[in-house]
Amino acid sequence: MNDLHTPPPAPQPKSKSKKVYRRKGFWIFVAGLVVVGAVANATAEDPGLDNEAAPQPTVTVTKTSPAAPAEEDAPARETTPEAAPTAEETSEEPASEPAVVPDVVGMNHRDAMGLLHERGFMVNEEDASPEGRMIILNSGWKVCRQDPAPGATDVLRVAIYSVKHDESC
């Protein structure tokens, strides 16, 4: 009877090489993703760089000094440089005139936004219809009204209310 009963085979140790391979593959994949993301980030254009940099005021220092008489027999004197005037002393900032809000009623929505941004205004855009839709593709819209009215000064933000081209204001 002893021959009839055989013990079950001993469990085979699981091969760890497959797990290590999977882990190694996972980490290689993650490292590759990080490299691709870093390269994409480094080569991506910054939206803030599209605008031209604002010109900085140029500081010009003009100083006249009387001509010293030539002394041929006198030994050469060491000269010490004078302190240059600071930018605060010499810069003359032109008084900037406040921007005047242009009339954009009837214009294409995209063109109106471009004009307002070009003049230095922040723009709020709203749907003029009672539906309250979001303006996503703004080239297919026209401006019905604006707030503040054209000609206003000392304004930072302009609201434009638009409808789709095939709709009436």
In this structure, what are the phi and psi dihedrals at residue 87, rounded to the nearest 5 degrees? -65, -30
- List the 157-164 sheet strands across, edge first: 122-127, 157-164, 141-147
Structure tokens belonging to residue 23:
């882990």
Amino acid letter at 23? R
Encoded amino acid at 32, one letter: G
Q: What is the average pLDDT value for the chain, to the nearest integer?
A: 76
pLDDT confidence of 39, banded at 50, 70, 90?
Answer: confident
Q: How confident is the model at residue 49 (pLDDT cuts 50, 70, 90)?
A: very low
Q: Rounded to whole angstroms, how far apart are CA atoms 113 and 123? A: 7
Over residues 4-32, mean pLDDT: 73
Nearest-angstrom CA–CA distance, 6 and 17 = 31
Closest CA to 121 of 145, 143, 139, 99: 99
Lookup result for tokens 């002394």: 71
Mean pLDDT within 47-55:
51
Reply yes or no on whether the pLDDT at 70 is more than 60: no
Return d(Cα 72, Cα 132) in angstroms, integer: 88
pLDDT at 22 over 80: no
The yes-or-no verdict on residue 163 having pLDDT over 90 is: yes
The domain limits of the chain are 16-44, 109-164
Mean pLDDT, rounded, for 76-92: 55
Assign 137 a pLDDT band (cuts: 50, 70, 90): confident
For the whole model, what pTM was predicted?
0.44
Percent of the chain scored above 90 by pLDDT?
34
